[in-house]
Amino acid sequence: MTSLSRRKFIYVGAASTGAVLLKGCLGNPPEPTTSQATPDAAPAANIPPEQAPEVSTIKLGFLPIVESAPLIVAKEKGFFAKYGITDVEVSKQANWGAARDNVEIGSAAGGVDGGQWQMPMPYLISEGLITKNNVKIPMYVLAMLNTQGNGIAIAEKQAGKNIGLDMSKAKDYIVGLQKGGTPFRAAYTFPRANQDLWIRYWLAAGGINPDSDVSLLTVPAAQTVANMKTGSMDGFSTGDPWPARIAKDKIGFLAALTAQIWPYHPEEYLAIRADWVDKNPKATKALLKGVMEAQQWCDKLENRAELAAILAKAAYFNVPAAVLEPTLKGEYQMGDGKPEIKDFEKAVLYWKSPRGSVSYPYQSLDLWFITESVRWGFLPPEYLNTAKTLIGKVNREDLWKEAAQEAGIPAADIPANTSRGVEKFFDGKEFNPDNPKAYLDSLAIKKA
């Protein structure tokens, strides 16, 4: 697997999140949080002896983007403690590379047991494709943390060039930049995962080849925004609230929300080292129950102001709540003459969407990430043939279902099928999980 050797991921360690770029508030190594559950913490559940967790402690990593909210809220509101996991450490990670490094070493060596992940990072770690010496560290995907809540921000100097959701209108301009020797440069915080994939999908849908018509790169986030200010970086994709802040601070504007590219798309996930889960299956389900309860709480519009206040704390995002509140309510100033979006259905969602469960880790969505990785040559085509086996190993939707049943989640909210069915994108393309090859064949721009 030379194309995915560690060498190619050397930039990763330098990559950072949007929070770093705008606030420079993150430490490395991660700063343990000291926050205690709030006084209105949930009362302890009546845990049947056969469900009592094997351990009461775990260390979970997070990055300060809205994807992390269910982990932070489960800790702060006492939902983890309610199910017997009384000592969860929610640990801020400096960047995705650091999160990867910390899960490699595990909590016993000062790292983490798991936490928040972009896709398909848990798969790449399990396969030893982004780990030191390509060591395979099996991980389990346990729940989806959120859908939507991400966007693509563009530098102000590119205003007035028809850069928006439909990039076919800006194609000649973008291709012209490449031909003129100053290619459009866009950055993400970790290669070959969500943000890279969203930028690529968006460009390719407009007829722009992300591998030859633009320059895509992993760049330290602080450097990205500094470069967006000076005009030497043109685009950047990450989780809320940071793209919208770039627009609000007039550093640039929003080209598209991921909610527009693929409504109710899979975003980030809870995944934990398999050795931890295998050793502590009841504690894993207890954790899942806490996350599910947090997701239900986070999902309510009436809780979003309080959610902003919780995430704003120094141990978490360390920014004023006012920075977080608008996007949590679906309010996006797009800039560049685009109308403001005020639509809660386009905000980050945590528990339910019109497509069904957000929290349940549909195996069909994991298959899209593997298929899209094949599309861009990030994984060899053979992965399509073996995807089902790999997903069966890494995706533990069975544990999610057991936890949901034990927690008394209504049957209507527990998906009966591991497939979410056909997925539809903004450009009319469809992904049928029963035939990923047909999806690949339908795409004009690809490497595979």
Size of the site for Ca ion (CB under 5 A): 3
Cα 392 from chain centroid (whole Å):
21
d(CA 9, CA 264): 29
Q: Show contacts with Ca ion in window 283-342 (CB under 5 A).
A: none
- Mark the segment that binds Ca ion (CB under 5 A) among 5-13, 37-45, 191-199, 352-360: 191-199
The residue of the chain with the least Cβ separation from Ca ion equals: 239
431 SS3 class: strand
Residues 257 and 148: their CA atoms lie apart, in Å, by 8
Span near Ca ion by CB under 5 A; candidates 30-38, 73-81, 189-197, 222-230? 189-197
Tokens 């000592």 belong to residue? 87
Of 116 and 357, which CB lies nearer to Ca ion in the complex structure?
116
Site for Ca ion in 192-221 (CB under 5 A): 194
Q: How far is the CB of 262 from Ca ion (least distance, A)?
A: 13
Tokens of 131: 């780990």
Nearer to Ca ion, 62 or 362 (CB): 62
**81: which residues sit within 8 A by CB, 6+ positions away?**
37, 41, 42, 44, 88, 290
Q: Which stretch binds Ca ion (CB under 5 A): 13-21, 82-90, 233-241, 369-377?
A: 233-241
CB of residue 172 vs Ca ion: minimum separation in angstroms? 30
CB 235 within 8 A of CB 144: no
The b/e string for 393-418 (b: 16+ C-beta within 10 A; e otherwise) is ebbbbebbbbbbebbebeeeeebeeb
Are the CB atoms for 81 and 42 separated by under 8 Å? yes
Radius of gyration for the alpha carbons in the chain, expressed in angstroms and rounded = 20
Give 53 or 243: the residue with its C-beta nearer to Ca ion. Answer: 243
Tell me if residue 76 falls in helix, strand or coil: helix
Per CB under 5 A, 363 contacts Ca ion: no
Q: Which is nearer to Ca ion, 266 or 335 (CB)?
A: 266
Give whichever of 194 and 284 is closer to Ca ion, judged by the CB atom: 194
Q: At what angle do helices 304-311 and 321-328 cross, to 10 degrees?
A: 140
> What is the crossing angle of helices 363-375 and 194-205, to 10°?
60
Smallest distance, Å, CB 119 to Ca ion?
9
Residue 118 beta carbon to Ca ion: minimum distance, rounded to whole angstroms? 6
- Dist CA 15 CA 98 (whole Å): 9
The interface region with Ca ion, picked from 158-166, 178-186, 238-246, 292-300 by CB under 5 A, is 238-246
Please count the other Cβ atoms lying within 10 Å of the Cβ belonging to residue 256: 25
Nearest distance, CB of residue 19 and Ca ion, angstroms? 12
Considering the complex, state which of residue 45 and residue 349 has its C-beta at the smaller distance from Ca ion: 349
> Which CB sits closer to Ca ion, 276 or 350?
350
What is the footprint of Ca ion within residues 144-163 (CB under 5 A)? 150
Contact window for Ca ion (CB under 5 A) among 138-146, 188-196, 202-210, 294-302: 188-196
Asked whether the beta carbons of 77 and 84 are under 8 A apart, the reply is no
When asked if residue 239 is in the footprint of Ca ion (CB under 5 A), the reply is: yes
Q: Please identify, using beta-carbon distances, which residue of 107 and 237 lies nearer to Ca ion.
A: 237
Interface positions with Ca ion (CB under 5 A): 150, 194, 239
